[in-house]
Amino acid sequence: MQVTWQYKRTGPLDEEELNRLGQEGWELVAVAADGGCYFKRPAPDLRERITLEQKARAYASLGVGHGGVPGGTGTVTSASGATAAPKGAPASAPGTPGAPGGLAGEGRG
């Protein structure tokens, strides 16, 4: 099985920020001359990604940002790049989690 990677570039970070990214699974792979940091981590598989997308939609339906932070935009981007719109926004396209005719297992508690 081949690993698919996610990549991230940031500006200079302090130790606390580096530790936080490490706890999120990001591995520091390079530091640029300007102090910017390059990270990588394994991309979530389909099962993990669906779970993240469901969580993002749930937060959006409650009108809170990612992580349940009140006052967020309500629009959340999951690891796969899918966005969840605020409550009352149009439903997802068919064939996506949460949409009529979406992925199997969706909406079961």
How much is the mean pLDDT over the chain?
A: 73
* Residue bearing tokens 């396209």: 93
Say if 17 falls within a structural domain. Answer: yes
> Same domain, yes or no, for 32 and 78?
no
In the chain, % of residues over pLDDT 70: 58
Per-residue confidence (pLDDT) for residue 109, from 0 to 100 = 44
In terms of average pLDDT, the best of 16-20, 53-57, 84-88, 90-94 is 16-20
Per-residue confidence (pLDDT) for residue 103, from 0 to 100 = 46
Q: Could you tell me how far CA 40 lies from the centroid of its own chain?
A: 14
Q: How many domains does the chain have?
A: 2
pTM given for the model: 0.45
pLDDT in tens, 10-59: 999 999 999 999 999 999 999 999 999 999 999 988 777 777 888 888 88
> What are the respective helix, strand and coil percentages of the chain, to the nearest 5?
25, 20, 55
> Same domain, yes or no, for 32 and 53?
no
